[in-house]
Structure 1
Amino acid sequence: MNFTRRRGTIAFFITLGTLLVGLAVTLNIGWVVLNERTVALAVVGIILFAMLIAGVVLNTVFLVREIRRNERQDSFLNAVTHELKTPIASIRLYLETLQRRPVDEAQRQQFYTNMLADSDRLLATVEQVLKAGQLGQRHRQQSRTLIDLGSLLSECIAITLQRHHLPPDAIVLQPVPGGVHLRVMGLADDLRIAILNLLDNAVKYSPEGVHVRCSLAITHYTWATLRITDTGVGLPPNQHKRIFRRFYRVPGRTMLRIKGTGLGLFLVRSIARQHGGDATAASQGPNMGTTITLTLPLANPSTASEASSSMANGRSYPTMKERA
């Protein structure tokens, strides 16, 4: 209902802006025709007309943008409320069952396992929201360390398999060409969050079966590239960049059935850029799967010394666009 109302409001402001622009054009043309012999007045009229048109267009764009931003924030609040309420309700139900009637030891242990899983889900949601707030602070005084991406990726795959109760072959890690170790300078906790978000998304948006491929490679001699490919719902052509916005979720019936906060890929891109890299998405279309590529600069002795001095001075690495 709110979605339909907001769509109507956006259509109203766009229509109003179009009508105002059309009215201004008509009045200006009529005014110029009536005063065609007065060149000075015609020039002044054209300038005022351009200013009026610019004001109307900017006002309409601003209003539409604010409506869409409020829509994304409302969707985020609804999603977070669901993500918080569901595990809390589940934990409460298990506790009430244990309190009201006796259960055998096997069932009790199963209850404990389910409650731990729900608490992990609750904690993951809270940490995701907190991390999104922390990433808004540009100067973060934390020491960067040398990280083996292969080991970190294997650890994240094991966590994801356990978290979603998947068989080992659901997420396949392809061997690195040449068997080399890809190391980067960074914050291990942040990169772990980024990779876990990518894996969770690949699992979550594969409702017909999880078949995820992960690969690591060196590109352009100085970059470590992580690609995570699924066979899930895919992306429409105009959504490849939008999915990295804060609170943004792809519209559609399938997406409505899949719960989320709209922060996962925003965190991935923010973390990648804070490490001097970037994150991109590619898909051949709906139901054709999605590939998310995370690119980070490889570590070397000069990078390590630069990281130490940069953190001491409160600076961060240049991004891929700045390096180009």
Structure 2
Amino acid sequence: MSTRRNLRWPISLGVSMIVLLVALTVGWIVLAVFGLLEDGKRAPIYVTFLSVGTTFLVLVLVGTILYLALSVKAINLTRRQSNFIDSVTHELKSPIASLKLYLQTLVRRSVSDEQRENFYGLMLDDVERLDHLINHLLDAGRVDREPTERDHVPIELADLLRSAARAVCLRYRLSDETIRMKLQPCQVTGSRVDLDMAFRNLLDNAIKYAGSPPEVHLDLRLTANGSAEVHIRDNGTGIPRHLRRKIFGRFVRLGSELQREKPGTGLGLYIVRQIVSRMKGKVQIVDGDQLGGAEFLVTLPGAVAVST
């Protein structure tokens, strides 16, 4: 509700200014034309005033429209940054509070060996969660820097995808069969670290927003024009069509942080887009008809087939 109020005033003010400027421009033109018709001797003066005045009014109108657009964009960016801060704060506080509780229990109470081992496992989960969040934030800062030429190496994409899928299943303690793979062997050139990061983010996103039980399909095929196409499908609720481009922006998460159940920072898909774009590729959300959820399509140029 506060976001709507924040947007309402600049939009209302901007629209009012635009209407007034349009009315002023029309009035200026009408008066100048009537003056020109009534006093033909001063025609050059009226034409000059008409041209100069109309030009200035149009420039002011364009400036007002640009100011309105930039104001709305700035407010939206502030909202996304606020959501990002709320998200990161929650992601940091939750495991820290959990660790504190387990440590206090171990220090102040006598627990059995079985309970102690269980606490150790839960504490390790919290540490891994913190480590994942910190690495995610570091990745977002690193992805804006161009890789060096030595980072560009031949990559067997099928092997990289299998490794990323296993890592994501291990993180969520899921069976490897959760991600069903159909991979055609092919090779691309790029940064292995960056590409692994991109596909781990996509697969992590698919598992996180999949249905219950989660089901993800991972397909790789080589096209006739020498591009590698990677399809990642899940059985979740999908992403509305009007939000499919917006979702790749920095700090963008759908809804309010206070109403979300899924953890995240709004940086994962931004990282994916930056990496894929740097490889002259394309990532998009397409209409999926197999599982009913979201389907991401990553297209990477310069792929070649490899023998198995």
Shared fold by TM > 0.5? yes
Q: Distance in 1 between matches of 2:104 and 2:288?
A: 48
Determine which of 86, 91, 101 is the counterpart of 1:83: 91
What amino acid does structure 1 have at the position aligned with 2:276? A
Q: Is the aligned partner of 1:174 residue 2:174?
A: no
1:182-230 superposed Cα distances (whole Å, 9 cap, x missing partner)? 2222222222211111111111112443111111110234222211100
- TM-score of the pair, normalised by structure 1: 0.83
User: 1:228·1:291 contact (CA, 8 Å) conserved in 2?
Assistant: yes
Aligned residue among 63, 71, 74 for 1:63: 71
Distance in 1, matches of 2:270 and 2:251, equals: 8
CA 1:123–1:113 in 2, change beyond 3 Å: closer, same or farther? same
User: TM-score with structure 2 length normalisation?
Assistant: 0.87
Within-5 A mapping of 1:150-229: 150-176=158-184, 181-229=185-233
Which residue matches 1:304?
none
Whole-Å separation in 1 of the counterparts to 2:200 and 2:144: 20
Which amino acid in the other structure matches residue 98 of structure 2? S
Alignment counterpart, residue 251 of structure 2, candidates 247, 250, 254: 247
Q: Which residue of 1 aligns with 2:42?
A: none
Deviation of 1:169 after TM superposition, in Å, equals: 2.9
CA RMSD of aligned residues (A): 2.4
**Runs of at least 5 residues in structure 2 that lack an aligned partner in the other structure:** 37-45
C-alpha contact 2:87 2:257 (8 A) present in aligned 1: no
Q: Give the distance between the partners of 2:216 and 2:48, measured in 1 at CA.
A: 69
- 1:22/1:201 CA distance change after superposition, 3 Å: same
Q: Which residues of 2 match residues 16-95 of structure 1 at below 5 A?
A: 16-36=13-33, 37=36, 38-95=46-103
Show CA shifts across 1:136-165 (max 9, x none).
223546533332222222222222222112
| Alpha-carbon contact 2:83-2:256 (below 8 Å) kept | no
Identity %: 34
User: Please, which runs of 5 or more residues in structure 1 have no aligned partner?
Assistant: 302-324
Partner of 2:2: 5
- Partner of 2:188: helix, strand, or coil? strand
Name whichever of 246-255 and 222-231 sits farther off. 246-255
- The one-letter amino acid paired with 1:185 is T
Aligned position for 1:321:
none
Change (3 A) 1:136 1:118: same
CA distance in 2, matches of 1:46, 1:272: 46
Measured after TM superposition, the shift of residue 54 of structure 1 is 0.6
Q: CA deviation at 1:19?
A: 0.9
